[in-house]
Amino acid sequence: MVDLRHIGKAYKVGDTNIEALRDISFSIGRGEYVAIMGPSGSGKSTILHILGILDTATSGTYLFEKYDITTLSDREQARIRNRHFGFIFQRFNLFSELSAMENVMLPMGYAGLSKPQRKERAGELLVEVGLENRMNHRPTMLSGGEQQRVAIARALSNGPDVILADEPTGNLSTDAGEEIIQLLETFHRRGVTIVMVTHNPSQAARTERIIQIKDGRLHSDTRQGGSR
């Protein structure tokens, strides 16, 4: 479903070129649960951004299903991003002025649903992540774990095929982080493809596959039992 071929990413900062990724190639099949690991600055977030079409590679080819992402217009890229990908970030990235419900409804605007339909779907998702009593709370009224659960509901709101999670438990206590991992495992069992950046070896051990990045290069790619 996802096929990266010889992907490179260079950032130009002043006169220097920072090569964040060099010759990265790997494929991910539908329904896989993959951990991406590696030292800070090794290029993990850059890979997730390219996978989710938040950013584009400077060399190589990215195939997503039948699309060659590298050749598409911005508009076509945005359509594929909104339809197929959901994102979860370490810092939650919720809108502080909006309630949990409104945060989850926001991305559904693209899917052509009416407002009552969006409300109903957002409510169902918030119940699924255990926030039935927090729907009208703003992010500041919620704990970190609750905020991340809102972010998961938001990531699922368009019915994505792939969830991209960048250190989703990095700002959470062990217990709150465990709840987030269990939620991701639940959606994985339902068939959602999950790619998660993590520094936590025990979380990585529960996935089906660990991709290690070092200095912008693929260091190893190991399949394992996983939790399913």
Ligand X SMILES: Nc1ncnc2c1ncn2[C@@H]1O[C@H](COP(=O)(O)OP(=O)(O)O)[C@@H](O)[C@H]1O
**Is residue 60 within the footprint of ligand X (CB under 6 A)?**
no
Q: Which amino acid is at 169?
A: T
Give the closest residue to 135 by CA, choosing from 109, 98, 99.
99
Contact pattern from residue 27 through residue 66 relative to Mg ion, giving x for each residue in contact according to CB under 5 A and a dash for the rest: -----------------xx---------------------
Residue given tokens 């339902």 in the structure block: 190
H-type helices in 85-114, by residue range?
100-105
CB of 194 to ligand X, least distance (A): 17
Q: Which amino acid is at 221?
A: D
CB of 154 to ligand X, least distance (A): 21
**Is residue 207 within the footprint of ligand X (CB under 6 A)?**
no
Considering only the stretches 10-18, 26-34, 104-112, 140-148, report the one whose residues sit in contact with ligand X under the rule CB under 6 A: 10-18
Instruction: Specify the 3-state DSSP secondary structure of 190.
Output: coil
Take residue 101 and report the two structure tokens written for it. 């419900």
Site size toward ligand X (CB under 6 A) is 12
Q: Which residue is nearest to Mg ion (CB)?
A: 45
Q: How far apart are the C-alpha atoms of 163 and 212, rounded to whole Å?
A: 19
Site size toward Mg ion (CB under 5 A) is 2
Farthest CA pair distance, the chain: 53
- Given candidates 34, 44, 81, 198, which one binds ligand X under the rule CB under 6 A? 44
- Given candidates 23, 30, 41, 141, which one binds ligand X under the rule CB under 6 A? 41
